[in-house]
Amino acid sequence: MSRPGFDEVVLLTGYPSFSARKICEEILLSPKTLVHAVVRSKSTADAMAALDTLPLDQRRRVNLLEGDAAAMDLGLSGKELGTIVKEVDRIHHAAEVSYLGVDTSMAEQINVVGAREILEIAEACSDLKCLVFHSTAAVSGDRAGFVKEDELDKQQGFRNVVEQTKARAERMMRAAMPRVPIAVVRPSIVVGDSQTGEVDRFDGPYILILLMVTSPPDFALPLPGRGDSPLHLVPIDYVAKAARAIGLDPRSPGRTFHIVDPHPLTARHIFELVARAGGRRLPRGFIPANLTKALLRTPGLDRFAKSPRAFLDALATPVVYGTANTDEVLAGTGIQCPPFESYVERLVEFVQVRLREKREKKLADRELEDPLG
């Protein structure tokens, strides 16, 4: 039963990560919804700063709970846990590690152990309507061709530890579906907000965007690979809206949902649009993907290049994701994935502004160090 005065009480893990913040903002659009957000102690200051950006009414409806999504009982006290299992109607488990350069032990702890812990909490909740488990379309690994939402284990190989551990976590969720109301959401490669361009870190496709916008205007970069496969990008605001709507729909438990662009562009088309938005020449030619990955294995570059190397694997995988379940649940909601062409300029502008701010800060720091220089 929800807390008196509220129609819904939601437990959110992963706060204040970029994705969890966006999910929280969407949930709070319902004026009678309370959010219990689990925050690691080292992230408390960042969580408070994130709350400060919200309207006062929304800020008052977020209860920060110091804990750890990968710890026993989420690291909550007995009193906090007792309150949670009595009040919570829905859970959004957004705590994850998705950085492709992460080490195996951390990925297993956060992605796999964290999934096990949230399952135990969900089973203890007295009136849970839905546990929304935030996974990734990349659990399809190196599969090519058409991937359905209800498919998971199809003898695919995994290209990195993130794909592997997220797939293990999904297996846990599927096994628990007969006894727990669980909906699995699988976004593809997530980029910034389609309205503001905001993003939390520059990895994956942003590595190539950075190379493009920092190159000389008259220099045409070659693409890493032919670029003729679909590049499945999806903006974070659409992911948050779709995940919230899926979590609210009574048809969702027991199903899996791909949150993707239904009309993905090829990698070449995407980087041509990025080049235009950044005022750069269009990409010319290509470097074979195998050669590009070999260059990234150069001693000294290996650690830095883990994320770009994994992204190159995704570039070369001709895969299409089915969206039958997502289409059914989102029909009539007005929630649609915007076409990449409609927001690419905002993504590029956000990168350019951050690069300019970084350069100005470095210049200011040098002037402080040597005021007479």
Measure Cα distances from 223 to 201, 266, 270, 292, 343 in Å.
22, 12, 11, 10, 21
Q: CB within 8 A of 209, min separation 6: which ones?
A: 202, 274, 278, 347, 348, 351
Task: Determine, yes or no, domain membership for 305.
Answer: yes
Average pLDDT over residues 332-357: 95
What digits encode the pLDDT tens for the residues 77-135?
999 999 999 999 999 999 999 887 788 999 999 999 999 999 999 999 999 999 999 99
**Do 93 and 65 belong together in one domain?**
yes
Is position 368 within any domain?
no
Q: Give the chain's mean pLDDT.
A: 89
Residue 291 and residue 295: Cα distance in Å, rounded?
Answer: 6
DSSP 84-127: HHHH-SEEEE------TT--HHHHIIIIIIHHHHHHHHHHH-SS
The reply to whether 54 and 135 lie within a common domain is yes
Cα separation, 17 vs 39, whole angstroms:
10
Which domain, by its residues, includes 296? 205-228+265-318+347-362
Residue 251 lies in a domain: yes
Does 160 lie in the same domain as 286? no
> In this structure, are 244 and 309 located in the same domain?
no
The CATH number assigned to the domain holding 68 equals: 3.40.50.720
Domain co-membership, 53 together with 189: yes
Q: Are residues 101 and 237 in the same domain?
A: yes
User: What is the structure's pLDDT at 372?
Assistant: 53
**β-pairing, 319-321 with 8-13?**
unpaired
Query: Are 269 and 121 found together in one domain?
Result: no
Q: Per-residue confidence at 298, pLDDT binned at 50, 70, 90?
A: very low
Q: How many domains does the chain have?
A: 2
In a domain, 372, yes or no: no
Beta-carbon count within 10 A of 70 CB: 23
Q: Report whether 193 contacts 236 (CB < 8 A).
A: yes
Identify whether 370 is part of a domain: no
Are 213 and 193 in a shared domain? no
271 and 252 housed in the same domain = no
pLDDT at 302: 42
- Residues 285 and 168 both lie in one domain: no
Which tops the pLDDT comparison, 16 or 221? 16
215-to-33, 210, 211, 273, 278 alpha-carbon distances in Å:
47, 8, 6, 15, 10
Co-location of 171 and 275 in the same domain: no
Measured CA to CA, the distance from residue 172 to residue 306 in angstroms comes to 27
The Cα–Cα gap between 62 and 52 comes to 11
Dist. CA 148–CA 139, nearest whole Å:
12
Measured distance CA(167)–CA(170) in Å, rounded: 5
pLDDT exceeds 50 at position 305:
no
User: Across-strand partners of 8?
Assistant: 33
Other CB atoms closer than 10 Å to residue 123's CB: what's the count? 13
Do 31 and 147 lie in one domain? The reply is yes
Residue 308 carries which side chain, given as an amino acid letter?
Answer: P
